[in-house]
Amino acid sequence: MAIQDIYPTALRLLGRPVLVVGGGPVAARRAKGLLDAGAKVTVVAPVASEKLLALVESGLLAWERREYRAEDLDGVWFVQTATGTAAVDTQVAADAEAQRIWCVNASDHEASAAWTPAVAEVDDVKIAINAGGDPRRAMALRDAVATALETGDLPLRRHRKPGATSQGSVALIGGGPGDPGLITVRGRRLLGQADVVVADRLGPRGLLKELAPDVRVIEVGKTPGHHPVPQLEINRILVEEALKGNRVVRLKGGDPYVLGRGGEEAEFCRQNGVEVEVVSGVTSAISVPAAAGIPVTHRGLAKGFSVVTGHEELSEVPARPDHTVVLLMGVAQLRESAAALAGSGLPLDTPVGIVENGYLPDQRVTIGTLGSIADQAEAVGVANPAVIVIGDVVRVSPFAPEHFKTADYSTITPNRPRVRTN
């Protein structure tokens, strides 16, 4: 049988009787697939494997504990042979052909009236692949296509909506610090299914260019001190678009639940009867320092960290170099924040690092101390988006001045003084 002789189609077997002849692992696997399709399965075999017995004992299928008989085909819509004995499979296939019943012959795919494809499900899409009678090849192709759908490399977006009165949904997606490669697989997949994207100024903006031409992008980006679209209006947009039946994605930078007001948006959606999903993202508070080689915790230097905005009160933050402080949206208040931490007892020689545009081509790192960083930032023109890291962990950064690197903070010899070679 050539692949050109195959007419691909899909069978709806819900509630319809089907027959599986054979009791081994292949029969169990095929029976499970037929049960998943909603078929009423009867197995005919003198013996049954453990997996098949488990289905029998669960009451999911009927088992006739004997050899096959031609009358077993009476009233059947579909047959699967899997006895492992070519003569028996061939007889079943011949009997099925005589009664014009579609039959998959596991012993001889060339002579089989039907082929079973390699199948995977992603969302409400079912992938079925035939590969010229080569099951391993078919499975490899199936897995590759499924992975591409899962990761958003292939489009899952619906073009025919379920119904005029159907309600849409909202996904609050954390897009990470801006590099398109740092959005999660789930976030990328949902973005590819969106009808409407409500986008922030930060986050993976490059992914917007990959959207289909008819996907609407609503810009609601904020800058420090300038909020052209108030939060209440953003909430209203999300609900209004979802109630029109659209799949709405709220694409944010970082993580929607880390100083991103995602909780407010999710609550407003639920209050208005809109289904909402929250997809966590790679928060800038941790990832942007990492882009400059700064861990927020490190053995021998810091066991904990606090994340605050530059607008918040810092008096309750531990004022110790071994407790990392991460400031988000803190450039405008940097001088005041440094003074507040110093007033709480944090030493003026505590290292401070500022990472602008983390992971982007124009990333810039400025490193100083609590006492000097405000002047340094003004001198070089530090601007948002930027993450400020305060604490001894800054010493680990490859961008730190040589005199900051006073010790070898490895896991083997923590706090051992470095041996200078020059």
Q: Are strands 351-356 and 364-369 parallel, antiparallel or unpaired?
A: antiparallel
Specify the pLDDT at position 235. 96
CB-count burial class (<10 Å; 0-12, 13-18, 19+) for 9:
exposed
| Confidence band for 392, pLDDT divided at 50, 70 and 90 | very high
Specify the pLDDT at position 422. 38
Domains and CATH numbers, the chain: 3-116 (3.40.50.720), 169-282 (3.40.1010.10), 286-408 (3.30.950.10)
Per-residue pLDDT tens over the stretch 33-60: 999 999 999 999 999 999 999 999 999 9
Q: Does an H or E element contain 118, and which? A: strand 118-122
Active site residue 200: yes
Helices and strands (H and E) in the chain: how many: 10, 19
- Structural tokens at position 379: 């001198």
Characterise 382 by phi-psi region: left (phi > 0), alpha (psi -120 to 50), beta (else).
Answer: beta
| Nearest-angstrom CA–CA distance, 362 and 402 | 24
Active site residue 89: no
Each as own residue / partner, the long-range contacts of residues 368-375 (CB below 8 Å, 24 or more positions apart, any chain) are 370/338, 370/341, 370/342, 370/346, 371/338, 371/342, 373/334, 373/338, 374/334, 374/335, 374/338
Characterise 117 by phi-psi region: left (phi > 0), alpha (psi -120 to 50), beta (else).
Answer: beta
Specify the pLDDT at position 154. 81
**What is the share, in percent, of the chain residues with pLDDT greater than 90?**
65
**Average pLDDT, integer, range 245-271:** 94
- Catalytic: which of 195, 200, 255, 392? 200
Specify the pLDDT at position 4. 64
- Catalytic: which of 32, 40, 51, 222? 222
pTM value is 0.67
Per-residue pLDDT tens over the stretch 188-233: 989 989 999 999 988 899 999 988 889 999 999 866 556 688 999 9
| Nearest-angstrom CA–CA distance, 69 and 371 | 91
